[in-house]
Amino acid sequence: MLQKSRLANFTLLLLFGAASYSFIYKGNQFEITKNLELLANIFRELDASYVDELTPAKLLKSGIDGMMSSLDPYTTFIPEDEMSSYELQTTGKYGGIGALIRKSGDYVIITEPYENSPSVKYDLRAGDKILKVDGVSAKGKNTDEVSKLLKGEPNTQVKITIERPGEPAPIEKVITREEIVIKNVPYYGMLDAQTGYIRLTGFTDKCSREVSEAMKDLKNNYKAQSVVLDLRDNPGGLLNEAIDVANVF
C-alpha cells in the first residue's frame, strides 16, 4: 500500500511538472508573439513616417545586432552572404575558382592558382590583375570584397575580366566554379636532422587527421625527435579539432 501511494505521488509530481512546463512555454510564446507584433508595428511606422528613406535590411540587421549584443559573446548571427566564409573556416571547403589573391595598388591580383582548380583549367596566372567580376568593377575593392564576388555555388559560372602583363588588351574568361578544398597542412618537413616542422593554417574539419598523418611520416620515415607546429596566421576554427590536434602531441 505504501508503494502504491509513493507511485501515485510520483505520478502526480510528474503531471504537475509537465503542466508547469507547458504553462511556462505557452507564456513565453505569448510574450514572443506580442513583442514581434510590437517590432513589426514600429518597423511599419518608421517606414511610413521617418523623415529620411530607410533601408529595411540595414535597419533589421541593426536590430539583430542589438539583440545579439545583449547575450554572451559566443552567440552570433551569420548573414547569408557571409556563410561561405563561415563554411570555409569550419570545413575548409568553398565554391569558387581556387586561387590566392592579394591587393596591389587599386586592384587585386592573382598570386597563386591552386593545383587542379578552375583557375588552372581556365588558364589564370599569377600576376593577372582582376579588373571586373560579372561586370562589377574591382577597382578600389579589397581582397575580401573581390573574394565574395568570385565565390558562389559549385557548377555556377562567373565572368572575370583580367589584365595580363604583356597582353595589349583585357582578357575575359567565363569560369565554372567548383568545390575547392583547402589543405590545413599545406607543408611539412624537417628543419634539421632531428626537428620536424608542420604548418597548420586552420582548425577546420579533419585538420587533426592531417596533423596526425604528418606526425607519423616525420617520426617513422625521417626519425624526428621534436616538432615545430607553426600556427602563424591561423584564424582558428572548430574547438573539437583544436583539442584533437593537441591530443596528437
Q: Is the pTM of this model over 0.85?
A: no
What 3-state DSSP class applies to 78? coil
pLDDT of residue 1 exceeding 90: no
* pLDDT one-digit tens code per residue, 131-152: 999 999 999 999 989 988 998 8
Burial state string for 204-229 with b = 16 or more CB within 10 A and e = fewer than 16: bbebbebbbebbeebeeeeebeebeb
Asked if pLDDT for residue 109 goes beyond 80, the answer is yes
Quickly tell me which residue has 587542379 as its cell. Answer: 116
pLDDT category at 5 given cuts 50, 70, 90 is: very low
What value does the mean pLDDT take over residues 67-93? 74
The answer to whether 161 touches 174, Cβ cutoff 8 Å, is no
Residue 109 makes CB contacts below 8 A (sequence gap 6+) with 101, 102, 127, 128, 129, 130
- Confidence at residue 181, expressed as pLDDT on a 0 to 100 scale: 83
- CA-based torsion, 107, 113, 119, 121: positive or negative: positive
3-state secondary structure of 212: helix
pLDDT of residue 15: 44
Among 119, 132, 221, which residue's Cα sits nearest to residue 175? Answer: 119
Handedness of CA 244, 245, 246, 249 (dihedral sign): positive
pLDDT tens-digit map of 19-55: 555 555 556 788 888 888 888 898 888 888 888 888 8
Compute the CA torsion angle 68, 73, 76, 82 (nearest 10 deg): 120
Contact indicator for 194, 208 with CB cutoff of 8 Å: no
Residue 81 CB-half CA count within 13 A: 8
pLDDT tops 70 at residue 91 = no
Higher-confidence position of 9 and 159: 159
Question: 111: helix, coil or strand?
Answer: strand
